[in-house]
Every structure is written in C-alpha cells, then in structure tokens.
C-alpha cells in the first residue's frame, strides 16, 4: 500500500491550489480577486491585488468584500 501516502499528498496539493487567490477581472483601475471560501485568505488576495496594481505604479485598496459567500474582494488601484 505504498500509493496511499502518495494519494494523500496529491489531495493535499490539490486542496492548497484550490485555495490560492486568483484574479477574476483586473485592469489599471482595479478588479476582483477570488480567494478561498469562508474568507480565510484575504491577505493573499490583497497581496495578489497589490502585485497587479504595481504594474501601473499603484497600490491596491480593498473597496468591497463579498459578504454572502465570503470568497472574493473588489479592489481599486490607487496612487499617483
């Protein structure tokens, strides 16, 4: 039964990837980042938004959170 630990490791990797924040829509003015269910990765979502805004010499500011499903934030890029 050597494959049992391997299956567990694969399941863990897939679960971690599913929890990673992803850009749903974005441009130089802002966008939407989907993060994990239950709002457990808001910091990661903000970091991803900041990275996106940095391309335009700006920083991200959260403007709204999904209060029903707790799985996304809306942000705007602010700065010079």
Quick: pLDDT tens for 33-78: 987 665 567 788 889 999 999 999 999 999 988 777 678 889 999 9
What pLDDT was estimated at residue 25? 84
Other Cβ atoms less than 10 A from the Cβ of 56: the count is 13
What is the C-alpha separation between 76 and 61, in angstroms, rounded? 5
Dihedral sign, Cα of residue 35, residue 41, residue 46, residue 52 = negative
* pLDDT on residue 44: 85
Does the predicted TM-score (pTM) go above 0.85?
no
Check whether 13 has a pLDDT greater than 50. no
Return d(Cα 75, Cα 40) in angstroms, integer.
17
């Amino acid at each position: 039964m050597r494959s049992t630990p391997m299956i567990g490791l694969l399941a863990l990797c897939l679960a971690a990837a599913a929890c990673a924040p992803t850009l749903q829509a974005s441009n130089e003015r802002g966008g939407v980042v989907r993060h994990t269910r239950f709002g457990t990765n808001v910091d990661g979502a903000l970091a991803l938004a900041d990275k996106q805004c940095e391309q335009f010499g700006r920083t991200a500011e959260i403007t709204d959170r999904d209060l029903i499903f707790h799985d996304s934030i809306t942000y705007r890029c602010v700065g010079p």
